[in-house]
Amino acid sequence: MKTKRTYTMTARAAATEETRRRIIGAAFDLQTERLTADISLEDIAARAGVTVQTVLRRFGSKAELFTASLEQINSDIAEERRAPAGDVPTAIRVLVDHYEKHGDFALLMLAQENAYAHVRQMSDAGKQMHRGWVTEVFGPLLPTRTTDHDEAVDLLVVATDVYTWKLMRRDRGLSRAQTEHRITTLVSAVLTTATQRKDN
């Protein structure tokens, strides 16, 4: 009897988590397609295959749901962008892969960061994560003196930013390979200067 009850509780918990993930996924998918102001709870519920009441029961409000969905995507992005420290070609390839998948979404979020608190929270976390990624991935190649190190990190953040990808991929219409090559060229130039300072 106890085993049956445990199984039932486990199955119920799994179903609840699956519903939660489906709702979060629906909220995220809609945010890649539309401005936040154009997304209703009815839209999210329909996309997730649940009722509005279920959405509210799980998250309380649309704002809380959006916050949860953006926290989830930031967590997924951190895992997706992992690259070995000091391996520049792999790091740039992983980064451009990420921008090809999520770059337009990131730009859509940045365009709304001053309008919605949850978007601002997400974009601030994303900027902090990107700087941390730059520091971790390129760290072994950077000078240790604080001023030189900070300058190199600043320049590498710009060279690998989503707006740099946008300028080349969307505004200039360059191919993925051309975009990756140009970002690599920028990164290499910064690292060459940083290495010279490191050796002096």
Give yes or no for a contact between 180 and 96, defined as CB atoms under 8 angstroms apart.
yes
Range 35-62 average pLDDT? 91
The Cα 78–Cα 81 span in angstroms is 5
- Are residue 95 and residue 178 in the same domain, yes or no? yes
Q: Please tell me the predicted confidence (pLDDT) of residue 70.
A: 76
Question: pLDDT tier at 146 (50, 70, 90 boundaries)?
Answer: confident
Give a yes or no: residue 43 inside a domain. yes
Domain count along the chain: 2
List, for residues 163-193, the tens digit of each pLDDT value: 999 999 999 999 999 999 999 999 999 999 9
CA distances to 29, 72, 143, 144 from 147, in Å: 41, 34, 9, 9
Give yes or no for a contact between 155 and 145, defined as CB atoms under 8 angstroms apart.
no
Residue after which a domain boundary falls, among 20, 38, 66: 66
Residue after which a domain boundary falls, among 41, 66, 91: 66
List, for residues 188-197, the tens digit of each pLDDT value: 999 999 888 7
Residue type, 60: G
Q: Tell me which residue has tokens 């051309």.
A: 178
Owning domain of residue 49: 1-66
Distance linking the first and last C-alpha atoms of the chain: 74
Give a yes or no: residue 71 inside a domain. no
| pLDDT tops 70 at residue 200 | no
User: In 3-state terms, the chain is what percent helix, strand and coil (to 5)?
Assistant: 85, 0, 15
- Are residue 108 and residue 150 in the same domain, yes or no? yes
Give yes or no for a contact between 22 and 50, defined as CB atoms under 8 angstroms apart.
yes
pTM above 0.85, yes or no: no
| pLDDT tops 80 at residue 115 | yes
Contacts of 138 (CB under 8 A, 6+ apart): 85, 86, 88, 91, 152, 153, 156, 187, 191
- Are residue 98 and residue 180 in the same domain, yes or no? yes
Give the number of other CB atoms < 10 A from CB of residue 138: 24
> If you count them, how many residues does the chain have?
200
Task: Give the H or E element holding residue 78.
Answer: helix 62-80
List, for residues 121-133, the tens digit of each pLDDT value: 878 888 999 999 9
Give a yes or no: residue 76 inside a domain. no
Show the CA angle centred on residue 71, arms to residues 32 and 164, nearest 5°: 55
The Cα 22–Cα 45 span in angstroms is 9
Range 82-93 average pLDDT? 94
